[in-house]
Amino acid sequence: MHDALVYLNGEFQSLSEARIPVLDRGFIFGDGIYEVIPVYGRNMFRAKQHMARLFRSLDAIGIPNPHSEETWMTLIQKVMDAHPSDDQMVYLQVTRGVAKRAHAFPKEVTPTVFIMTNPLVLPSAQVRADGVACVTMEDRRWLHCEIKSISLLGNVLAAQHAAESGVTESIQFRDGWLTEGSSSNVWVVKNGVIMGPPKDHLILEGIRYGLLQELCEQHGIPFESRKITKEEVFAADELMISSATKEILPVVRLDAQTIGNGAPGPIYQQLYAAYQAAKHA
Ligand code: PDD
């Protein structure tokens, strides 16, 4: 692995040398938040929206924002510039900082800020052409899924369930209602309408949520945010997942059942093309 330049608490250093104290509340409590920003041709895609979500996450858990938006962008840019790949995925994380172990917020503490970048590895053309398989599972995570928290044990277990099932993603349901994947949003197409679950505390509002909504508006595809049942998911004409690192992927198998006609559908093809146009614009 390339020993990339990273940013940690005011210093640029190589990934292999970066260290944090064991009493960091990110390590002890999972007390922090993160972002994943895709980079195409050395340009961050939807940077403004990712910054806005970063600031919302910090606000939601009461960590003072350590930097202005301008400073954030400068720090990220420096890490990006040092990386050999043109297409990258920037990962940044802020924890509440280092303090004696006690659950409630420490009084005086400085947030830990970490930025790294990796090559962006997108699904291959073959995977996009074939579509992917997913499994369903009950969503047993906490009830603040709108926060991009580093406490990801529920998501880790969901991803492991998919891995052990030999599929790409777990699609989660809470009391029979669709929520999201372990690290992706889920989209259902029925009779030409694309539907996603409401933007509430039960899902993370992916940056691709707003993007898909915009792309649908531009291309005259009806778009609805509403509660979706498990039956509706299985009866979908098309099913898709979206994330920074997957872009949009067609799901053609769910548990033992074929979705639609078992091949990526026309709405997927249209949205994928629109996505490619948007990222190169
Ligand atoms: N995950 N829902 C969850 C639980 C996620 O973790 C993600 C992204 C998304 C999609 O959000 P976006 O469109 O902003 O990528 C939805 C990132 C990629 C990750 O944890 O690596």
DSSP string, 189-217: EETTEEEE--SSTTS---HHHHHHHHHHH
Which residues of the chain register pLDDT less than 70?
1
Q: Which residues line ligand 1 (CB under 6 A)?
A: 36, 155, 180, 183-185, 204, 206-208, 242-245
Range of the domain at 70: 5-119
What atom in ligand 1 is closest to the CA of residue 182?
A: 4
Alpha carbon of 47 to ligand 1 centroid (Å): 15
Could you tell me if 95 and 64 are in contact, meaning their C-beta atoms sit under 8 angstroms apart? no
Is residue 139 located within the same domain as residue 236? yes
Is residue 133 located within the same domain as residue 228? yes
What atom in ligand 1 is closest to the CA of residue 244?
A: 15
Is residue 147 located within the same domain as residue 29? no
Question: For residues 29 and 97, what is the distance between their CA atoms, to the nearest angstrom?
Answer: 11
Alpha carbon of 245 to ligand 1 centroid (Å): 8
pTM metric for this prediction = 0.97
43: domain CATH number?
Answer: 3.30.470.10
Is residue 177 located within the same domain as residue 91? no
Pocket test for ligand 1, best of 117, 151, 204 (most atoms within 8 A of CB): 204
Q: How many other CB atoms are there within 10 angstroms of residue 118's CB atom?
A: 18
Alpha carbon of 165 to ligand 1 centroid (Å): 21
- The protein residue whose alpha carbon is closest to atom 19 in ligand 1 is 183
Is residue 34 located within the same domain as residue 90? yes
Q: Indicate if the alpha-carbon torsion angle 64, 40, 211, 229 is positive or negative.
A: negative
Q: Give tens-digit pLDDT for 117-163.
A: 999 999 999 999 999 999 999 999 999 999 999 999 999 999 999 99
Pocket test for ligand 1, best of 37, 169, 182, 185 (most atoms within 8 A of CB): 185
Supply the pLDDT for residue 1: 67
**Encoded tokens for 95:** 């924890």
Supply the pLDDT for residue 143: 98
Question: For residues 220 and 136, what is the distance between their CA atoms, to the nearest angstrom?
Answer: 30
Q: How many CA atoms lie within 13 A of 207 on its CB side?
A: 24
Which of the 8 DSSP states describes residue 22? T
Indicate the length of the chain as a whole number: 281
Residue found by looking up tokens 């991009």 in the block: 148
Alpha carbon of 141 to ligand 1 centroid (Å): 15
Boundary (domain end) residue, out of 119, 154, 174? 119
The structural domain count of the chain equals 2
Q: Give tens-digit pLDDT for 3-21.
A: 899 999 999 999 999 999 9
Is residue 144 located within the same domain as residue 88? no
133: domain CATH number?
Answer: 3.20.10.10
Which of the 8 DSSP states describes residue 9? T
Alpha carbon of 202 to ligand 1 centroid (Å): 13
- The protein residue whose alpha carbon is closest to atom 2 in ligand 1 is 184
What atom in ligand 1 is closest to the CA of residue 34?
A: 20
Is residue 114 located within the same domain as residue 130? no
Torsions phi, psi of 4, nearest 5? -65, 155
Is residue 146 located within the same domain as residue 160? yes
Is residue 132 located within the same domain as residue 254? yes
Is residue 150 located within the same domain as residue 20? no
Q: How many CA atoms lie within 13 A of 185 on its CB side?
A: 30
Q: Smallest Cα–Cα separation from 94: which of 24, 23, 144, 32?
A: 32
Is residue 107 located within the same domain as residue 131? no
Question: Residue 36, SS3?
Answer: strand
Pocket test for ligand 1, best of 205, 243, 247 (most atoms within 8 A of CB): 243
Supply the pLDDT for residue 2: 77
Alpha carbon of 51 to ligand 1 centroid (Å): 14
Is residue 181 located within the same domain as residue 68? no
Boundary (domain end) residue, out of 119, 143, 172? 119
What atom in ligand 1 is closest to the CA of residue 91?
A: 21
Boundary (domain end) residue, out of 119, 142, 161? 119
Residue numbers annotated as active site? 148
